[in-house]
Amino acid sequence: MSITVSTLTKVYGEQKAIDDISFSITKGEVVGFLGPNGAGKSTTMKILTGYLPATSGNASVCGLSIDEHPLEVKKKVGYLPESNPLYPEMYVKECLAFTAHIYGIPHA
């Protein structure tokens, strides 16, 4: 899996959460995504997984533009956010099955 980010920016009101970042990760690389609170790590991950639109810039996963092919990107990426975005009473397996069903991913 490859990831390419080019001049990515995310603005909330007057606050820049991400300011013109660029990087690329090639297949087989192991990368740590580190930084202090408020550095934009979670915002970047939400953009890379198609859950949040960027204000400007481009990002792609496996050569697929996140803006143009969000569903295809979501099929290729697994992302566990800091807190469960769905139902807290669900077990992990139930949450994964439910999410796969929503996106039309066949049961393995």
Domain with 58 in it: what CATH number? 3.40.50.300
Residues 71 and 93 in one domain: no
How confident is residue 85, by pLDDT bands cut at 50, 70 and 90? low
Q: Are residues 8 and 49 in the same domain?
A: yes
- Rounded Cα distance between 94 and 21, Å, is 36
Domain with 99, as residue range(s), is 80-108
Query: Residues 106, 58, 54, CA angle at the centre, nearest 5°?
Result: 80
DSSP strand pairing (64-65 vs 56-61): antiparallel
The pTM is what?
Answer: 0.74
Same domain flag for 48 and 99: no
Q: State the average pLDDT over residues 47-72.
A: 93
